A = this chain, B = another copy of it.
């Protein structure tokens, strides 16, 4: 388990756990409704590779799309208009985070929110930051939880559209907020892997997933487990689904899918 506040080590196996299974399309197949929920994009600019990795790893884990730049110059060569938030280190040479923010605001005329990262916490920096329209200010070393709370707060403020998403297929409903799947109104008692697989199936009813598809989406690309694990897990899900268990179909040689 990762302890709050400490900077998470970059370990691989943890990647998938933090992020929600996020269906980011808005499609209708048969009687299935999925509500869109696109990832927010964050650009982090810092001259320390380590910090960038920490930011990227942790915020990705929270479901954000994170790009990084090692310098303000690199950032300025990019198209900055597509981002929802900038995380800027104050002290980078030759163009500081403040200067970069100024350019973003005045030359590119973007109102994208900015959070400054700084090692110092001097009053001077703080004031300059706020004059440039910083939305927040985070002194290094910062706790990951603090960072993610602020990011969340800022993004919520700037785009109040946050949909709790529920997906219904047949007699099944997925409640992603509470990690529950209802079968005919009754919640199934699923473990984490079981939930993620069944949610994947229900949210993409009819679509065939090979074992590798499932491994990569539920377990993540770094984790190495036998693909027969998928079979076993699906057997467990089916058992918990009772008579409805046969709604998880298998197409021999291709994979599994949900349907009736």
Contacts and interface: CB of A to CB of B under 8 A. Distances in A.
Interface of A: 1-5, 17, 24, 130, 135-136, 143, 145-146, 149-150, 153, 173, 175, 177-179, 182, 185, 191-192, 206-208, 211-212, 215-216, 221-222, 224-228, 251-254, 257
Contacts of A226: 3-4
Given A143-B224, A224-B145, A208 B191 contact: no
A221 B149 contact: yes
B145 A192 contact: no
Given A224-B5, A226-B3, A149 B254 contact: no
Given A1-B227, A178-B206, A225-B4, A149 B153 contact: yes
A194 to B, nearest CB: 10
Number of copies: 2
A251 B5 contact: no
A221 B145 CA distance: 7
15 contacts: A1-B228, A3-B227, A3-B228, A17-B253, A130-B143, A136-B145, A145-B212, A145-B215, A145-B221, A146-B221, A149-B216, A149-B221, A150-B221, A178-B257, A192-B253
A62 to B, nearest CB: 10
Most buried by B among A4, A173, A212, A225: A4
Contacts of A192: 252-254
Q: Which 8 A/B pairs are nearest by Cβ-Cβ distance?
A: A5-B224, A149-B221, A192-B253, A4-B227, A178-B208, A130-B143, A179-B254, A143-B224
A184 B212 CA distance: 31
A114 B221 CA distance: 19
A1 B227 CA distance: 9
A200 to B, nearest CB: 15
A200 B150 CA distance: 21
A178 B149 CA distance: 27
B191 A252 contact: yes
Contacts of A222: 143, 146
Contacts of A153: 149
A216 B3 CA distance: 13
Most buried by B among A149, A225, A254: A149
A216 B179 contact: no
